[in-house]
């Protein structure tokens, strides 16, 4: 009866609303998926891609495993109006802990002043009142980095439980009681960092079957199945992580006749706090024939800016090749502060320092603009701290990895690192080139028990924290650093500068 009555409602706005936030269920009927915009302006500008790389508080909309790498509290919010009619609000919170990362996400879309008509005059409906409609989703997520899962390493896993609600209000009393619905479902996701360049991700959305509660139940007793689908993604970091390419695909395995939408994104970061984005986004849409499903796509783009602990993302994202459906999206995010370590002041080098020994001349030192830093690299290489790469390069602009960082610390401290040892970390095999150095660092209490990802990048915060422990620098005076600076990953050139700041420069006998 509710559907019969609803046919007399002025549904033009609702239809537009559904087009913006829809995919299709097994019977090719419209399913309102309000997660499509909840991903945030960053992902929207990248064609709604991010299954393999998205690592902010909005990650659960694509892949809950993306939360696992967060080290600080994050708070994100988005507000927009679709066609100046549909109010759309999101809130995302992520909180790291020693047990993993917990997330909460809420998204609410609403439409008011829908004209109602119960009679016709001269073939035209007569407005007899107004109604409102809202659709909301609230979810709780959990993610954790794993040492190893079967034969795979550098993995993160995540899960999301979500509560979905629909509600009509303002209907006549005989229909009002039937105009609400609620349901529950769950998602699972995995992200895998294969190496410094390649990431992969997979996320299974709405995996609960109808019999186990994966459905939406209306007050009238009518139930809707929540469509299940799989998202696969790959991301490549190029040009020393300045360029990101991502490609996602959606698979409706229970519906072999459905097309496979793709989501393509390209991000260029010429400056640490500024990013340019472009993408192509496809979603399921109604086909030309009755009860058929096709796909429609559009190009999109945007930018990202960071000011201190705040990030501003903008996306231009049209839908379904309709000029009037173009919308502009703005996301504001807050990144919580890290606990500042004590950062040591530079220590004066003894006047009786050793004479400079000329070490290996790497073929790419011309990339280091500061001549003094070039000399530091040569001096440290002469002492054996840095060996360089087999092709004769130093790669000063490449981001420093955990394995490289710990290896240099062990060499500086001249800790015994015999080959053939069995690492204490499950995700570090004995055959890994850095295994002896990592084991030596743990034996010397430089590393604490827990997971160790050899390919993970080292932040400024991590660098100073380990250096303090390794060289007993806690009693030194501290610099006042910007909180955001502490979160940045450091390059190999940055590492040389930091070592020099704490008095390690390849000359001092203090080492």
More confident residue, 299 or 121: 299
Closest by Cα among 498, 201, 233, 506 to 341: 498
Parallel/antiparallel/unpaired status of strands 74-82 and 327-335: antiparallel
CATH number of 2-111+133-335: 2.40.160.40
- Please tell me the predicted confidence (pLDDT) of residue 348: 36
Cβ neighbours of 250 (radius 10 Å)? 24
Enumerate residues 6+ apart whose C-beta is below 8 A from 319: 19, 20, 283, 296, 298, 325, 327
State how far Cα 73 lies from the chain centre: 14
Rounded to two decimals, the pTM is 0.63
Report how far residue 88's alpha carbon sits from residue 92's, in angstroms, rounded to the nearest whole number. 14
DSSP state of 427: T
For the segment 253-278, the average pLDDT, to the nearest whole number, is 90
For the segment 311-334, the average pLDDT, to the nearest whole number, is 78
- Please tell me the predicted confidence (pLDDT) of residue 477: 36
The first and second tokens of residue 459, run together, are 């932040």
Closest by Cα among 142, 149, 153 to 188: 142
Three-state secondary structure call for residue 499: helix
Cα-based distances in Å from 506 to 9, 64, 349, 497: 79, 45, 10, 12
Report how far residue 117's alpha carbon sits from residue 252's, in angstroms, rounded to the nearest whole number. 38
Contact (CB, 8 A) for 174 and 145:
no
Closest by Cα among 326, 293, 283 to 84: 326
Cα-based distances in Å from 342 to 109, 462, 472: 46, 12, 11
Question: Helices 492-501 and 460-471: crossing angle, nearest 10°?
Answer: 40
DSSP state of 71: -
Q: What percent of the chain has pLDDT over 70?
A: 72
Report how far residue 379's alpha carbon sits from residue 373's, in angstroms, rounded to the nearest whole number. 10
- Please tell me the predicted confidence (pLDDT) of residue 417: 79
* pLDDT band at residue 63 under the 50/70/90 scheme: very high
Could you tell me the residue ranges of all domains in the chain?
2-111+133-335, 365-501
Cβ neighbours of 433 (radius 10 Å)? 10
More confident residue, 427 or 88: 88
Mean pLDDT of the chain: 77
State how far Cα 474 lies from the chain centre: 34
DSSP state of 17: H
Backbone φ and ψ for 52, nearest 5 degrees, come out as -95, -15
- Please tell me the predicted confidence (pLDDT) of residue 201: 95
DSSP state of 438: H
> Is the predicted pLDDT of residue 474 greater than 60, yes or no?
no
Q: Which residue has the tokens 């509660």?
A: 213
> Is the predicted pLDDT of residue 148 greater than 70, yes or no?
no
Flag the least confident range among 19-28, 77-86, 127-136.
19-28
- Please tell me the predicted confidence (pLDDT) of residue 67: 93
Count CA atoms closer than 13 A to 420's CA, side-chain side.
1
Contact (CB, 8 A) for 44 and 58:
no
The first and second tokens of residue 473, run together, are 């620098």
* pLDDT band at residue 420 under the 50/70/90 scheme: low
Report how far residue 152's alpha carbon sits from residue 192's, in angstroms, rounded to the nearest whole number. 8
Flag the least confident range among 168-177, 222-231, 291-300.
168-177
More confident residue, 294 or 236: 236
């Amino acid at each position: 009866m509710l559907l019969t009555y609803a046919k007399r409602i002025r549904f033009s706005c609702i239809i537009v609303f559904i087009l913006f936030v829809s995919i299709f269920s097994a019977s090719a009927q419209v399913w309102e998926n309000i997660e499509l915009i909840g991903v945030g302006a960053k992902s929207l500008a990248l064609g709604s891609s991010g299954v393999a790389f998205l690592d902010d508080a909005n990650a659960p909309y694509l892949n809950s495993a993306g939360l696992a790498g967060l080290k600080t509290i994050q708070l994100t919010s988005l507000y927009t109006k679709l066609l100046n009619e549909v109010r759309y609000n999101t809130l995302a919170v992520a909180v790291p802990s020693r047990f993993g990362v917990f997330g909460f996400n809420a998204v609410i879309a609403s439409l008011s002043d829908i004209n109602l008509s119960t009679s016709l005059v001269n073939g035209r409906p007569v407005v007899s009142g107004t109604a409102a409609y809202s659709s909301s989703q609230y979810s709780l997520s959990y993610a954790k980095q794993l040492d190893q899962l079967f034969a795979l390493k550098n993995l993160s896993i995540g899960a999301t439980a979500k509560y979905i609600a629909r509600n009509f209000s303002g209907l006549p009393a005989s229909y009002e009681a039937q105009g609400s619905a609620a349901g529950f479902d769950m998602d699972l996701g995995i992200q895998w960092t294969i190496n410094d360049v390649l990431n992969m991700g997979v996320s299974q959305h709405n995996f609960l079957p109808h019999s186990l509660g994966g459905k939406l139940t209306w007050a009238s007793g009518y139930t809707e199945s929540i469509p299940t689908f799989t998202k696969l993604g790959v991301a490549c970091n190029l040009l020393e992580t300045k360029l990101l390419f991502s490609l996602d695909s959606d698979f409706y395995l229970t519906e072999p006749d459905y097309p496979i939408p793709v989501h393509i994104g390209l991000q260029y970061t010429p400056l640490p706090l500024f990013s340019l984005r472009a993408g192509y986004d496809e979603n399921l849409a109604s086909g030309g024939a009755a009860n058929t499903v096709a796909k429609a796509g559009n190009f999109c783009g945007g930018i990202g800016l960071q000011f201190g602990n705040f990030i501003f993302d903008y996306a231009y994202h049209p839908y379904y090749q309709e000029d009037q459906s173009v919308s502009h999206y703005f996301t504001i995010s807050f990144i919580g502060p890290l606990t500042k370590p004590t950062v040591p002041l530079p220590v004066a080098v003894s006047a009786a320092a050793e004479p400079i020994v000329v070490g290996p001349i790497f073929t790419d030192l011309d990339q280091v603009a500061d001549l003094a830093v070039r000399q530091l690299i040569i001096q440290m290489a002469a002492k054996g701290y840095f060996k360089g790469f087999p092709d004769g390069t130093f790669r000063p602009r490449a981001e420093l990895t955990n394995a490289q960082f710990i290896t240099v610390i062990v060499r500086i401290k001249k800790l015994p690192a015999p080959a053939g040892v069995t690492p204490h970390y499950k995700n570090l095999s004995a055959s890994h080139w850095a295994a002896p150095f990592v084991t030596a660092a743990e034996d010397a209490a430089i590393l604490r028990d827990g997971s160790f990802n050899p390919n993970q990048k080292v932040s400024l915060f991590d660098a100073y924290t380990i250096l303090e422990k390794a060289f007993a620098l806690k009693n030194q005076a501290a610099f006042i650093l910007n909180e955001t600076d502490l979160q940045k990953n450091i390059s190999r050139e940055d590492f040389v500068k930091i070592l020099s700041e704490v008095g390690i420069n390849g000359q001092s006998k203090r080492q």
